[in-house]
Structure 1
Amino acid sequence: METSFGITGKGYVIIAADTTSARSIIKMKTDEDKIKTLSPHLLMAYSGEPGDTVQFAEFVERNIRLYQIRNLYALRPAAAAAWIRRALANSLRSRKPYGVNLLVGGYDTASTDPHLYWIDYFGAMTEVPFAAHGYGAYFALSLLDRYHDPEASLEEGLAVLRRCIDEVAKRLVIDPGKYKVKVVDKDGVREVEL
């Protein structure tokens, strides 16, 4: 029952993920942070099998940090997303593939553009203006298609996100509960309250 959303706008990317950790019909935690800060201008939301998600997210976080230490600069969003997709595709061809769906969002400080990438557990990747994973995607993608504006301000983007979260809460059989929302823009990564 995991749900994550990503929205781009004028100079920002918003990524939101529910905070519930559940297995079958049992809720184990309600304060799980499913969004990793990979670098000062890069975020990754993950969902899928509980052990796989945490292990893969930490693997990605450490390797992107290692790249930054070795080269004295952080990967740009397109390069980071390509590396993450490749790591996921390589794991798919091993004996222990990761069952992880990802949203990678970042702000490219060189070109001053926001980027959002949708990556599934098969290693398929595409750059998108908005995205969703999980059961909430069935309800939110039509709303995002209708109300997303690439020139929207941050407040307008948060209003669209609020609309998606309200629709998922109203229509999904089990309400995912609370959401953690993070924004990345020219100033870096920060958490916002809805």
Structure 2
Amino acid sequence: MECVFGLVGNGFAVVVADTSAVHSILVHKPNEDKILLLDSHKLMGASGEPGDRVQFTEYIQKNMSLYQFRNGIPLTTAAAANFTRGELASALRKNPYHVNILLAGYDKDIGPSLYYLDYIATLHKVDKAAFGYGSYFSLAMMDRHYHSGMSLEEAIDLVDKCITEIRSRLVVAPPNFVIKIVDKDGAREYAWRETIKDAPIPSD
């Protein structure tokens, strides 16, 4: 029941992912971070088969570091998205990666951007996107409340609305989420949204 979603605001991009590592009906970890920092100004949120997700995202991260080491400049967000798309496409007819990706970044002359990549190497630049069962509800909330030029406070409020809707509507909802942002100051973790425990029943 993975949930990954993101949006672009005024000068920043936000990526949110659940933190549950599951297989079938078993939960292996409640604190799996599915949003990888590719470099100082890029984030990659991924969902899919755990092995493919970890292997592919780390492969992209290391190759971007190698490019920067060799050439002295980092890839732009658009270049990173196209490189990632190329690697997915190359693997598609050999040994495909079952992984879906939201790639967010901030470029000095362009600003924030968000790219949608799925496991069959589809690539789109978007303002908002989501993967997983939670996408049914997060996309509905974003369609209703999202507008271009959102402030960070408005974006986080919308993220909380999406998480609340996923928790209340999804039969097996992930309990915890991690929120990361990228802006002119870099990519970083913003907050965790952990399960709200039931209030104790008052005694008479």
Class of the TM-score when normalised by the shorter of the 2 chains: over 0.9
Deviation at 1:9?
0.3
Map 1:23-38 to 2 at 5 A. 23-38=23-38
Question: How big is the shift at 1:110?
Answer: 2.4
Which residue is 1:106 aligned to? 105
Residue-pair matches, total: 192
How big is the shift at 1:139?
1.0
1:170 corresponds to: 168
Moved over 2 A (4+): none
Give the match for residue 62 of structure 1.
62
Task: Give the AA of the match of 1:144.
Answer: M
Give 1:149's aligned residue: 147
For residues 145 and 57 of structure 1, the distance between their equivalents in structure 2, rounded to whole angstroms, comes to: 28
1:92 equivalent in structure 2: 92
Deviations 1:65-98 (A, max 9, x none): 101111111111011000001101111021x110
Match of 1:42 in 2: 42
Scaled by the length of structure 2, the TM-score of the pair is 0.92
State how far apart, in whole Å, the 1-side matches of 2:17 and 2:137 are. 15
Partners of 1:130 and 1:169 lie apart in 2 by: 20
Deviation at 1:185, TM superposition (A): 0.1
Partner SS, residue 152 of structure 1: coil
The superposition leaves residues 10-62 of structure 1 with CA deviations (integer Å, 9 ceiling, x where unpaired) of 00000010000000000000010101100111100011011111000110010
Equivalent-residue separation in structure 2 for 1:144 and 1:191 (angstroms) = 21
TM-score by length of structure 1 reads 0.97
**Secondary structure of the corresponding residue to residue 113 of structure 2:** strand
Where 1:189 maps in the other structure, the secondary structure is: strand
User: What is the correspondence of 1:12-23 to structure 2 with a 5 Å cutoff?
Assistant: 12-23=12-23
Bigger Cα Rg: 2
How many percent identity over aligned positions? 46
Aligned counterpart, 2:118: 120
Query: In 2, distance between residues paired with 1:54 and 1:190?
Result: 19
**Is there any run of 5+ residues in structure 2 with no aligned partner, and where?**
194-204
RMSD in angstroms over aligned alpha carbons? 0.8
SS at match of 1:116: strand
Q: Secondary structure at the match of 1:192?
A: strand
1:129 alignment partner, one of 109, 127, 141: 127
Q: Which amino acid aligns with 1:148?
A: Y
1:177 Cα deviation from its structure 2 partner: 1.0
Q: Which amino acid aligns with 2:5?
A: F
